[in-house]
Structure 1
């Protein structure tokens, strides 16, 4: 349970406060974003995120715990199917609070609280992939070492084809090496001629 905030309750009593938070959470899950006062938004955030965590578990016990708080079965179904699958790869931070300025009538500070349903940022996804690749690399290295002895006993046909390719590559290699040796020699000769002209 989140730590209780200091100061007065939102409603007249604790039961009223629980009902207000449940109604705000139901409206948030139904409409995906609601406008309310900053105080109510800050009190709603841990409450709603806890319910989303239950929805991500997805088992019957979690569904019953959420149904004990939110009585609307349609909203609970949407929470467990749509919202839980949208935030499946996100580890917390399911809501966002944006301050929008004072209310016209009583000058109360207002805020918009909304669900963060967009996918996790690419940077975080790359880091997660890199970590999973590191974990998978040692597992793949062991089977590759076991497979190496099997490749040494290759059929005779593949062994005969390999030297022919190596001979063709070896014939081309001296010609390329000679051309590479000539290029630096020509460049050095041009530099020497440029220095003589400069003097």
Structure 2
């Protein structure tokens, strides 16, 4: 695991937390968390995106060993990594948000740099899925009427 920050947790708890955060970041594109956690998540997420760029069976298995959701791995290799094919590193950005109200912990927003492109692709995919579903339902209705 990159970094030496302990984040006030045991090793197993820290690894599980970071795996969950990286999975969530790749799934949704951005996370609001503490600054130190964001710095740890950045290195791990960038490693996962670099794995996604190689797109081999071994890299896919390595990503599956770390990322907790299978559909996020598919998204990483099919949607996210191709967007960064011509970029070497710097796949994430961290924005400082100021202190948290309850404990004054420094908060930050970590997001993928091409987050907007990924969201547009997902919206286009959803629209295409809805159109095909509507076409399928219309075809089924026509066949039902014909019978």
TM bucket, shorter chain: 0.7 to 0.9
Where do 1:23-62 residues align within 5 Å?
A: 23-62=20-59
Unaligned runs of 5+ in 2: 116-147
Q: How does 1:58-77 map to 2 (within 5 A)?
A: 58-77=55-74
The structure whose residues are more often helix, as a share, is 1
- 2:132 corresponds in structure 1 to none
Deviations 1:81-119 (A, max 9, x none): 11001111111100000001111111110000000117x
CA RMSD of aligned residues (A): 1.7
Aligned counterpart, 1:124: none
User: Which structure has the larger Rg over C-alpha atoms?
Assistant: 1
Match of 1:96 in 2: 93
Tell me the distance in 1 between the aligned counterparts of 2:10 and 2:39.
Answer: 18
Secondary structure in 2 aligned to 1:91? coil
Higher RCO by CA contacts (8 Å cutoff, separation 6 or greater): 2
Alignment of 1:145-156 (within 5 A): none
Aligned residues: 116
The structure-2 alpha-carbon separation of the partners of 1:75 and 1:13, relative to structure 1 and needing over 3 Å to count, comes to: same
Runs of 4+ aligned structure 1 residues displaced above 4 Å come to: none
Quote how far apart the aligned CAs of 1:11 are: 4.6
Q: What TM-score, normalized by structure 2, do the two folds share?
A: 0.74
Q: Look up the match of 2:12.
A: 15
TM-score normalised by L of structure 1? 0.55
